[in-house]
Amino acid sequence: GAALAGGLPAQRNDLDTKDLARVRAVIALTRDFSKAEAFEAQGRRVYVARVGDESRLGLDACAYVRALVELLEQADGLGLNIDEIWLCSSDATQSGLAIALKHLQAPIRLVGVPALPDPVTPGQTFAQCMTAIGNQCAEILGLPTRLVPEDIINLTTYVGPGYAVLTDEAREAMRLVGRTEGLLLDPVYTAKAMAGLIDHIRRGLTGKEGNIVFLHTGGLPALFAYAETLGLEDLLHAEG
């Protein structure tokens, strides 16, 4: 617990969401591909990560096609019928899951909550962006299935003021599931998705009788950067 509050040094700098496009442009212009090219010249296979270049997110989405297959195999082994899957995703994660579900004709409702107020591709909705990524993924994997925007459910209601800005609902979700389930959420991604799920259950928008899988996509190191904002030190002292 103590390590959670202050075990690692961390510094967080907030960016206005409006600056994200400018930041991406700067990163794209300053990216140095010389090392990657040198490795390729040696006959090595190189993958350049997505920062500053979102043109090949379909490849990233392929990982979540496999993740969906693994999830369904585990559910089948447990005799569990999944009705809904909830997660935080702004692009590739939900895209991979969506194309996999459609290809397998699995009757599972997939609901995403983005961490960003706007998609990575300017001028598109999240549904349009994820459709394009999912279809690129399908092409890479040689699948005939294609997504349409109507296949995508992505709720921007729970993003709040912007990326990495903690909301009251996300804070409540972190405390609730931490106290009742022993599950640690992060303030940037998973807490906002859980806040959406909790709100839907409370409002009767999601069936209480169904089997819902909450896909935890990580982000726990962010807790160190938000220790003061979350009052983790005070919480530890109060409970100690």
Chain segment 124-157, per-residue pLDDT in tens: 999 999 999 999 999 999 999 999 999 999 999 9
What value does the mean pLDDT take over residues 67-81?
96
CA proximity to 225, closest of 176, 139, 157, 166: 166
| Unique residue bearing structure tokens 């804070």 | 171
Cα–Cα dist 92/141, whole Å: 15
Cα–Cα dist 165/58, whole Å: 28
Q: Tell me the pLDDT band of 53, cut-offs 50, 70 and 90.
A: low
Q: What is the pLDDT of residue 3?
A: 33
Sheet holding 109-113, edge to edge: 109-113, 84-88, 212-215
Q: What is the pLDDT of residue 193?
A: 97
Give long-range contacts, CB 8 A cutoff, 24+ apart: 67-71.
67/96, 67/97, 68/96, 68/97, 68/100, 68/101, 68/104, 69/100, 69/104, 71/213, 71/215
Amino acid at 105: Q
Chain segment 82-132, per-residue pLDDT in tens: 999 999 999 999 999 999 999 999 999 999 999 999 987 888 999 999 999
Amino acid at 234: D
Phi, psi of 95 (to 5 degrees): -60, -45
Q: What is the pLDDT of residue 122?
A: 81
Q: What is the pLDDT of residue 73?
A: 97
What value does the mean pLDDT take over residues 57-70?
95
Q: What is the pLDDT of residue 23?
A: 52
- Per-position b or e across 151-170, b if 16+ CB within 10 A of its CB: bbbbbbebbbebbbebbebb
Side-chain half-sphere exposure of 100, counting CA atoms within 13 A: 21
Q: Tell me the pLDDT band of 169, cut-offs 50, 70 and 90.
A: very high
Q: What is the pLDDT of residue 9?
A: 43
Could you say which DSSP state residue 50 is in? S
Cα–Cα dist 191/197, whole Å: 10
CB 192 within 8 A of CB 159: yes
Cα–Cα dist 184/219, whole Å: 10
Over 90: is that where the pLDDT of 36 sits? Answer: no
